[in-house]
Amino acid sequence: MSEAGLRYRWAILGICWLGYIIALMQRLSIGPLAPFLKEGLNLTNSQIGMITFATFFGYMLALVPSGTIVDRFNEKAVLILSEMIGGIFVGCLFFASRYYQMLIIMAFCGMALGSILPATTKAIFTWFSDKERATAMGIKHTAINIGGIIGSITLPPLALALSWRHAFLAMGFLGIGIGVLTLMFYRSAHPGVSINGTTERVKSDMENAPLIDVIKNKNIVLVTLVGLCAAVEFAIITYFVLFLNESLGYAVVTAGFLLAVLEGGGALGKPILGFISDRILDRSRKKAYLVVTTTWCLACILMAFVGKGEPVWILILLCVILGASTIGWSGIHFTFIAELGGERLVGRATGVSTFVMALGAMAWPPMIGMIIDLSGSYKIAWLAIALLGMVASFLLLMVREKEGS
């Protein structure tokens, strides 16, 4: 590939990053707009929760099929359709007047947006060599945090100024707009040969590769189980403000600030961990992931024994470290999964791994909540999360990296 072509990889990363930000804004839009939806459609808290569940359920359903399509056909087509169809469905919420309409539309929206992760993962894999792939993947995954932050900041004021319907309509146009941008500027790494040397023969193997090959790959399964453990981050985010308020006596506003610090640590950790993996650990994803799981375990043990009266700067430092490890792992995870699957299985491996992680994202919050309720202590919950970090480390020790990683 020419020097100009190699430079274009950063434009590809930018396209994927923007698309991911908008997708996360759309997928997480119910939370920031919940007060307006409750009033406008006379919804209960339970119904708001069910709309969020419908979005997540649709997202999960799309992961494996979309990964298969990405492997068999073309990530560009999947990315464009995902962005545009997701935008159309979100925009259709402008016309929703019933609870069941919100459920159906957001379920289909989730299905459309579920295709973006396998497509963008394939894009990063084919455009970036293993010398900088984890860094690029980490940068792309900061979109998760940034999308949530932008949505939280912009959607409520827009709903106040116009209406919640106009907020959804604006996000719909954003989705369609990024789809048009992708159509105009996204291109394949090279006709017939990717930046990683994929030939037409390998492409044929990709098209014929059965899904069972992902499940039969021991290393992919092990790293997927690590991701299942790491999905406990959703429980940490769910109960962090309550922990600070009820256990350490912090005011809700201060606790909210510390939650933002935790999220910021996660966003900062993703590209930094990728850079460490690429440049310092000689492209070893296993070693970088072990740094993550070990730090996660130690940070949770420290958090379990933090008491009232600790200096705030200590808690801020702990939040950054905890966020970098328990939230900042996704870039390394998906780089590892993509490289273990190779060009032949990258889409399907990403889809299967994300599906399993999504199950963890749904299961861990109520399970950790049950531990808190039964024990009456956040300390036990933190130690349980630390134990998950130990389990994840043990699973990683059994993984064999490909040569050159």
Mean pLDDT taken over the chain: 86
| Token pair for 350 | 């990403």
| 324 or 346, higher pLDDT | 324
Token couple for 36: 């307006």
Count CB atoms within 10 A of the CB of residue 286.
19
Residue spans of the domains in the chain: they are 3-208, 213-397
Give pLDDT, residue 167. 93
**How many angstroms separate the CA atoms of 71 and 211, rounded?**
10
Of 212, 173, 222, 190, residue with least CA distance to 333 = 222
Instruction: Write the single-letter amino acid at 211.
Output: L
**Domain 3-208 coded CATH 3.40.50.2020:** no
Confidence band, pLDDT 50/70/90 cuts, at residue 305 = very high
- Strands, E assignment, 218-286: none
Whether the predicted pLDDT of 197 surpasses 60: no
Which residue type, as a one-letter code, is found at position 111? M
Q: What pLDDT score does 57 carry?
A: 87
**pLDDT at residue 49 greater than cutoff 70:** yes
Per the model's pLDDT, the better-predicted residue between 213 and 290 turns out to be: 290
127 within 8 A of 325, measured Cβ to Cβ: no
- Report d(CA 99, CA 254) in Å as an integer: 35
pLDDT, tens only, 327-378: 989 889 989 998 898 877 888 888 889 889 988 888 888 898 889 889 988 9
| Mean pLDDT, residues 254-271 taken together | 87
Positive or negative, the CA dihedral 156, 31, 356, 271 is positive
Q: What is the pLDDT of residues 166-185, one digit of tens each?
A: 999 999 999 999 999 999 99
Query: Is there a contact between 280 and 291 (Cβ–Cβ < 8 Å)?
Result: no
The answer to whether the CB of 269 falls within 8 A of the CB of 327 is yes
Tokens 């919100």 map to which residue?
A: 102
Report pLDDT digits (tens) over 265-279: 988 999 999 999 988
pLDDT for res 208: 52
Q: Residue 244 is encoded by which pair of tokens? A: 């600070």
Sequence-ordered list of residues with C-beta below 8 angstroms from that of 8, at least 6 positions apart, any chain: 187
DSSP conformational letter for 401 = P
Tell me if 333 sits within 8 A of 314, measured CB to CB.
no
Determine which of 2-6, 26-30, 128-132, 302-306 has the lowest per-residue pLDDT on average.
2-6
* Cα–Cα distance measured from residue 328 to residue 130, given in angstroms and rounded to the nearest whole number: 19
Q: With 80 as the cut, is the pLDDT of residue 207 above it?
A: no
Sign of CA dihedral 46, 166, 14, 116: positive
Looking at residue 386, its pLDDT comes to 97
What is the structure's pLDDT at 105? 93
Other CB atoms within 10 A of residue 306 CB: 18
Report for 71-85, 197-211, 214-228, 362-376: range of highest mean pLDDT: 214-228
Domain 213-397 listed as CATH 1.20.1250.20: yes
Within 10 angstroms of residue 94's Cβ, the number of other Cβ atoms is 15
